[in-house]
Amino acid sequence: MKTISKAITTVGLASAMLLSSVGGAAAAEVHYKDVKKTDNFYNSVDFLIEQNAISKTLPKFRPYENITRGQFASIFAKILGLDVSNIENPGFTDVPKTHQFYKYVAALENYGVIGGYGNGKFGVNDQLTRGQMAGILMKAYGIPVIHSEGYASLKSNFGESNLVKSNDIFDGYDFKNGQWNDELETLEYFGVLGGYKDGNLYPNKPINRSQFANMIYKMEDYGFGYYHYQYVDSIFDDFATIGVSEEEADEKFNEFINSNELVEFVTMYPIPSDISSDDYDLVMTVYPVKEGEMIFEDINAKIVVEYSEEDGWWISVEKISEESTTPTTEDPNIENTDSENTGIVTE
């Protein structure tokens, strides 16, 4: 377990809201008769319209009507921009190829985001629950779940007791029995969903259309589709491999994170190393800005941020090449007009 400076671990989740990918203000009038500008879901509905995910002609949005799994599939497949033409039939008995939601259900199933009940059915007309919604969002955006050990540790080790609350799925120390507890608490930690007035999350309660719209909008507006998640240990292991001490690695890692040159830090949270263990690892969430290197000549190392179509973003540590560390002989009679070396090298 690595010791990370407190300044990093407590930066706070509000920074996530600053990395908006879709903008915060509504671009046009929402035409639905049952959606007013004063409603807390107005911008969310406007976003769904802009993404061509919901009807632009129907007179009502029906914000307080519970959303079905089929309706959800239709909207969410459009939000993700999935190909709904080149699809394989998942074989759900209640969603034949002639069904109005078939191509959307199939696209999401092919993408690995949703599944059926195990009895051959998808439950296309069943109401979507809050727990199911949380599980689908976590899969779709690739967010590592925070388990009970890590969630409880926020209270004792990370000074964020205001974020750790007892409710119907968490007793203050451990999760109660339930299929979607990890996913719900992770999204609550990120500010995507909240509990009811009594503080409970009600995982089995149906989610209505306005709540659904707000959750989708927050996922997109906070930039979850653009975040990079990585175990902090993977970076410290790289430092150790090239002979950098843990103390020096901690110093350089924090310098890298605080610079905001190559990545913008969002948050960091613990997940258990082993489900049966009290030990945990840290997962950091960052917004990649650009590919490049941060060079630390004093320890002969550099932190590299790179992107590939196959693997996405990755942060690693390497030795500085011998060529870049070999001093050059300069003519003392020639003035050096180069700008000051900032230590940042970008592509």
What are the phi and psi torsion angles at 109 (to 5°)? -65, -45
pLDDT of residue 18: 37
Between 9-18, 180-189, 195-204, 238-247, the lowest mean confidence (pLDDT) is in: 9-18
Mean pLDDT computed over 155-166: 57
pLDDT of residue 346: 53
User: Which residue from 18, 24, 21 is spatially nearest to 260, judged by alpha carbons?
Assistant: 18
User: Which residue from 90, 83, 73 is spatially nearest to 136, judged by alpha carbons?
Assistant: 73
The per-residue pLDDT for range 100-148, each reduced to its tens digit, is 999 999 999 999 999 999 899 999 999 999 999 999 999 999 888 876 6
Whole-number average pLDDT of the chain: 81
| Percentage of residues of the chain with pLDDT beyond 90 | 55
Q: Which tokens sit at 155?
A: 């209270």
The per-residue pLDDT for range 323-338, each reduced to its tens digit, is 544 444 455 554 544 4
* pLDDT reading at 10 higher than 50: no
pLDDT of residue 186: 85
Q: Which tokens sit at 246?
A: 């843990």
CA max distance for the chain: 83
User: Which residue from 85, 109, 86, 106 is spatially nearest to 95, judged by alpha carbons?
Assistant: 106
Structure confidence at residue 310 as a pLDDT band (50, 70, 90): confident
pLDDT of residue 13: 37
Q: Which tokens sit at 1?
A: 């377990």
3-class state of residue 113 by DSSP: coil
* pLDDT reading at 77 higher than 90: yes
| Placement of tokens 């690595």 in the chain | 2
DSSP string covering 148-169, please?
Answer: HHHHHHHHHHSS-GGG----SS
Structure confidence at residue 274 as a pLDDT band (50, 70, 90): low
Helix, strand, coil: what percent of the chain each, to 5? 35, 15, 50
- CA–CA dist 78, 48 (Å, integer): 9
Classify residue 108 as exposed, middle or buried by CB count within 10 Å of its CB (0-12, 13-18, 19+). Answer: buried
- The b/e string for 292-323 (b: 16+ C-beta within 10 A; e otherwise) is bbbbbeebbbbbbbbeeeeeebebebebbeee
Structure confidence at residue 247 as a pLDDT band (50, 70, 90): very high
Structure confidence at residue 269 as a pLDDT band (50, 70, 90): confident
